[in-house]
Amino acid sequence: MTSPALQVRNVRAGYDGRDILQDVSFDLYAGEVLGVAGPNGGGKSTLLRAATGLLPLRTGSVQISGRDLAQIGFRERARLCAVQPQVEAPLFDYSVEQFVMLGRHPHRSAIALATATDHAAVEKALARTDLSALAARSIRSLSTGEWQRALIARAVAQDAPVVLLDEPGAHLDPGHRHEMHLLLKAMAREEKRAVLCISHDLNLAAEFCGRLMLVAGGTVRGLGAPAEVLRDDLLQEVFRCPSLRVGTNPFSGRPNTFFAP
């Protein structure tokens, strides 16, 4: 069987002496989109921070391409793994193009000028996130949804084999949210990237993710195909919502969640 692009084993991590993640394990493979869902405060964003080395592990291990994360330097780590955080404020008055170009920094020295390859990667990322027309705009002038797309574009331009995104669909209108998920699917299938996508939109995740992982209370409560994870009993328990029901999308045949009256 193919080795995982990202391997998380028995990870415990947290803040201020308190474990948020408790014995979490999963694999992420090249060519797949793995959706991560769960209630607020369940450990999803903490998992992302632990998997990228931003949060020290108390126990367990993380490997990227078969190498222990702790043994990989920060620059090489950035070449191997691109991250789109849930929240990030624009610190400098970059243009959109300059901001997306930051994703290319791991591929050259700190003082080197951007190469033709860098410019091509940025142009492609801007086009794929529908930002080409805004390339010269200040990032401080962007709407919340446009800023979200700029964060995604920076991660895309990084050209890393592993891509981790925290709520990439947040603040996006339905059209851009749909296009963003099509982009993630294409990156996985056509470019063989390993994509992990945290999402609160269970229906969209069910449509575009090959597997879903349900995280609650700092543990993995379900991992498998959407139809295996999206079950009435499990969702009602995890989200503490007896009204949640699972049906079928009549167009795709994929699971769809509803609220019973």
Model confidence at 172: pLDDT above 80: yes
Query: What's the average model confidence in pLDDT over 59-72?
Result: 94
**67 part of a folded domain:** yes
Query: What's the average model confidence in pLDDT over 221-239?
Result: 97
Kindly report the backbone phi and psi dihedral angles of residue 63, in degrees, each rounded to the nearest multiple of 5, phi listed first.
Answer: -125, 140
Tens of pLDDT, residues 179-191: 999 999 999 999 9
**61 part of a folded domain:** yes
**How many whole angstroms separate alpha carbon 183 and alpha carbon 176?**
10
**36 part of a folded domain:** yes
**How many whole angstroms separate alpha carbon 198 and alpha carbon 207?**
14
**138 part of a folded domain:** no
Query: What's the average model confidence in pLDDT over 118-125?
Result: 97
Task: Please give the model's pTM, rounded to 2 decimal places.
Answer: 0.94
Token pair listed for 101 = 């170009």
Mean pLDDT of the chain: 94
Looking at the chain, the whole-number percentage of residues with pLDDT higher than 70 is 100
Rg (CA), the chain: 18
**What CATH number is attached to the domain comprising 226?**
3.40.50.300
**How many whole angstroms separate alpha carbon 174 and alpha carbon 67?**
38
Q: What's the pLDDT at 212? A: 98
- Specify the number of domains making up the chain: 1
Tens of pLDDT, residues 74-112: 899 999 999 998 878 777 899 999 999 999 999 987 778
**122 part of a folded domain:** no
What confidence category does residue 113 fall into, taking pLDDT thresholds of 50, 70 and 90? confident
Q: What's the pLDDT at 197? A: 97
Tens of pLDDT, residues 189-211: 999 999 999 999 999 999 999 99
Residue, of 171 and 127, whose pLDDT is higher: 127
State which residues form the domain around 218.
6-85+161-259
Note the helical H segments in the chain: 44-51, 74-80, 96-101, 116-128, 144-157, 174-191, 202-208, 226-229, 232-239
**141 part of a folded domain:** no
**46 part of a folded domain:** yes
Q: What's the pLDDT at 1? A: 58
**57 part of a folded domain:** yes
